[in-house]
Amino acid sequence: MLAWVALLIILTPTVSGVVFPSTTFTGSSFIPAQSETIWEVLDHDYVVDNVIPWDIAFVNETHGWVLSQNRTSFAHGIILNTVNSGDSWQLQYSNASQSFSKIAIIDTDTLWVSGTDGLFYTEDCGQTWNMIVVEGSSTAFYDIFFLNETHGWTGDGEDMYKTTDGGQTWQSVFSWISHDKARRIHFITDLEGWAIGFYGLYHTTDGGDTWEEQFEYGGWAISFVSDSEAWAVSDGRLTHMTDGETWVEQPIPRSSPISSVTPYFTDILFLDADNGWFVGGETEVAYTPNGGRDWYAQDFPHDTRVTAVDFINVTHGWAAGSGGYIYRTTQGNNLGTRLWTGMTDPIVLSIVGAFAAVVLIISGFFIRRRRRKAVYRLPDLVSESPRIE
């Protein structure tokens, strides 16, 4: 009886927080959500089985863009645009010889897109698109990033390039890591920046002229909270930096604490130190309200791999995934179901601790019982002992 009481006391404060169905985090309390559906499917004319979106980006609550391409040939890219929060989508640009991978929004009128044979930009909110061929490049561009109207960086399969005149000319960054590809680039200032490749995370403090590897594993996406804090994801890996220098692997949020299947993470976005989302395959969309200490799988309409996510605040967000599907939520801070973080999960540790406590209590009970029996029998044993003359 004592063992069960001890177990209940130990587990109660932790297990009560395992699942929060249809709740919303408001900073200091949990309140019921108004709807059971967290994410909805948006209707458009480009939902095709062999189409995969690579990026989605919104400049405000109404205007956004999606890049998609044919995943069988990795060509025939399209750029879709919405001006009503995703209620309807229009084809802005299509190119049968290009694939598009990343959007960089400078302002409501000016955008850049990385493509197979060059960079594409618009200065009229996507009504017309122009192409720039980067001299010296011979492979597809993975990413494009602009710090401001003038300073930008892009990377192809071999090199990195930099512009200081708004993208009209691009110069090769000759010191870029030759054995890796810059999948995602992020600059904090015009001198300090980061890049994530297939095989590592890299840092520069001189505008990209020199790069140093800071972490031995690469990935798909990177998201900065501040100058010194950032997150990165890859297939089966979640990493976090808090000091502007050191990257640390985090426990993987899973639907089961003992799952052996490698999860797929494709994109990650943090709006601030607390609120963040990652998307992928095993868990389509997951949300943290407390800086990654706890993750919650949000209700999602499809069992598919989500490839890109974007939020403009903690409630309004969009995502895109396999098949060309586009999704939207106005309840981005809805918790959903709590995910496990393996054998280091606080709940698992609590259960292990509770089990150990039960074992100790039971062991102590039997030890005390044996001692009492021994004390009770001791006089008899003494009286029966042979007298020594």
For the ranges 85-99, 136-150, 201-215, 338-352, which has the lowest average pLDDT? 338-352
Q: Which amino acid is at 3?
A: A
Compute the distance between CA of residue 359 and CA of residue 108 in angstroms, rounded to an integer: 64
Reduced to 3 states, what is the DSSP secondary structure of residue 247? Answer: strand
Q: pLDDT band for position 138 (50/70/90)?
A: confident
Cα 302 to the chain's mean position, in Å?
18
Residue-level pLDDT at 28: 34
Q: φ and ψ at 365, to 5 degrees?
A: -60, -45
Instruction: Identify the pLDDT of residue 185.
Output: 95
Going by C-beta distance under 8 Å and a sequence separation of 6 or more, which residues neighbour residue 101? 54, 55, 67, 114, 115, 140, 141, 142, 143
Among 160, 162, 92, residue whose Cα is nearest residue 125: 92
Q: Is pLDDT above 80 for 283?
A: yes
| DSSP three-state, residue 4 | helix
Residue 8: the pLDDT is 41
Q: In this predicted structure, what is the pLDDT of residue 27?
A: 40
Say if residue 380's pLDDT is above 60. Answer: no
Residue 383: its H or E element: helix 346-383
Q: What is the pLDDT of residue 359?
A: 55
Q: Which range in 13-17, 71-75, 250-254, 273-277 is most confidently predicted, on average pLDDT?
A: 273-277
Contacts of 204 (CB under 8 A, 6+ apart): 191, 192, 193, 194, 195, 210, 211, 212
Tell which residue, 130, 166, 167, has the closest CA to residue 150: 166
140 or 262, which is more confident: 140
Query: Model confidence at 370, in pLDDT bands (50, 70, 90)?
Result: low
219-237 mean pLDDT: 95
Q: What's the pTM?
A: 0.80
Average pLDDT value for residue range 22-26: 42
> Which residue spans within 49-192 are E strands per DSSP?
51-58, 64-70, 75-82, 90-95, 100-105, 111-115, 119-122, 130-132, 141-146, 152-156, 160-163, 171-173, 184-187
- Tell me the per-residue pLDDT of 44-75, one tens digit each, with 9 for 90 and over: 887 766 677 899 999 999 999 999 876 655 56
Residue linked to tokens 């490839």: 307
Instruction: Provide, rounded to the nearest whole percent, the portion of the chain with pLDDT above 90.
Output: 57
Read off φ and ψ for residue 41, nearest 5 degrees.
-85, 130
- Place 256 in a pLDDT band, splitting at 50, 70 and 90: confident
Q: Name the one residue in this structure whose structure tokens are 């042979």.
A: 386
* Cα–Cα distance list, 278 to 252, 285, 295, 314, 319 (Å): 11, 6, 9, 13, 10
Query: Which pLDDT score is estimated for 14?
Result: 39
Mean pLDDT of all residues in 313-341: 94
Give the integer Cα–Cα distance in Å for 315 and 208.
35
Tell me which residue of 331, 368, 381, 387 sits closest to 34, measured CA to CA: 331
On average, the pLDDT of the chain sits at 82
Tell me which long-range contacts 105-112 makes (C-beta under 8 A, separation of at least 24).
105/57, 105/59, 105/65, 106/146, 106/148, 106/149, 107/59, 107/149, 108/59, 108/60, 108/63, 110/149, 111/65, 112/144, 112/146, 112/152, 112/167
Q: Which strand (E) or helix (H) includes residue 381?
A: helix 346-383
Q: What is the mean pLDDT of residues 102-119?
A: 94
Q: What is the rounded distance in angstroms from the CA atom of residue 63 to the CA atom of residue 82?
A: 6
pLDDT of 372 strictly over 70: no
Residue 284 tokens read as 């389509």
- Average of pLDDT values for 25-43? 59
Report how far residue 210's alpha carbon sits from residue 192's, in angstroms, rounded to the nearest whole number.
11
pLDDT > 50? residue 381: no
Span 121-134, pLDDT tens digits: 999 999 999 999 99
Question: Model confidence at 112, in pLDDT bands (50, 70, 90)?
Answer: very high
Which of 204, 116, 216 minimizes the C-alpha distance to 156? 116
